[in-house]
Amino acid sequence: MGVAGCGKSSLGAAVAEATGLRLVEGDDFHSEASRAKMSQGVALDDADRDGWLTTLGDQLRGHPEGLVLTCSALKRAYRERLRQAAPGLRFVFLGISREAAQARVAARGAQHFFSTSLVDSQFATLENPTDEAGVLRVDALQSLDQLQADVAAWLATNKAQA
């Protein structure tokens, strides 16, 4: 979880491959209306995210064996909804600076629907999760190999909590 450009998709894919769990890309479940808003530089609000979070909760419930879900989960209330769908759910928070996130989103170009103008709104919405149980904070600027190794070690030591 984290703001746009932090590397959720890359790390999610690496963790899914390492664990043998299915990868569910949260962005794939945004409505066409939400995608259109974001591509036009209009930030989503709680109402826009409501159905999306319900769908992601359904994905979690539908895979009791576990899965790797990439999702911004910017607000505590969003994370709580996902936790209700999957008790024991854990989050990896990819911390990144506004400048680094902006640069990464800009580097995507037209291949992604997310407008670079929305990075600031992501940081404005973000409620830091590091005081919540079941959250690992990592530095998004570390190498993907290091991030995957850190997540694997954390998951291994926290299996009993899941």
For residue range 37-62, what is the model confidence (pLDDT) as tens digits?
A: 877 778 788 999 999 999 999 999 99
Predicted pLDDT at 105: 85
- Within a domain: residue 103? yes
Predicted pLDDT at 31: 84
Task: Please give the tally of structural domains in the chain.
Answer: 1
Is pLDDT of 96 > 70? yes
Predicted pLDDT at 134: 95
Q: Give me the percent of the chain exceeding a pLDDT of 90.
A: 67
* Residue 44 vs residue 151, higher pLDDT: 151
Q: Which domain holds residue 90?
A: 8-157
Predicted pLDDT at 162: 41
- Within a domain: residue 28? yes
CATH number of 75's domain: 3.40.50.300
> Pick from 50, 3, 17: which is nearest to 31 by CA?
50
- Within a domain: residue 2? no
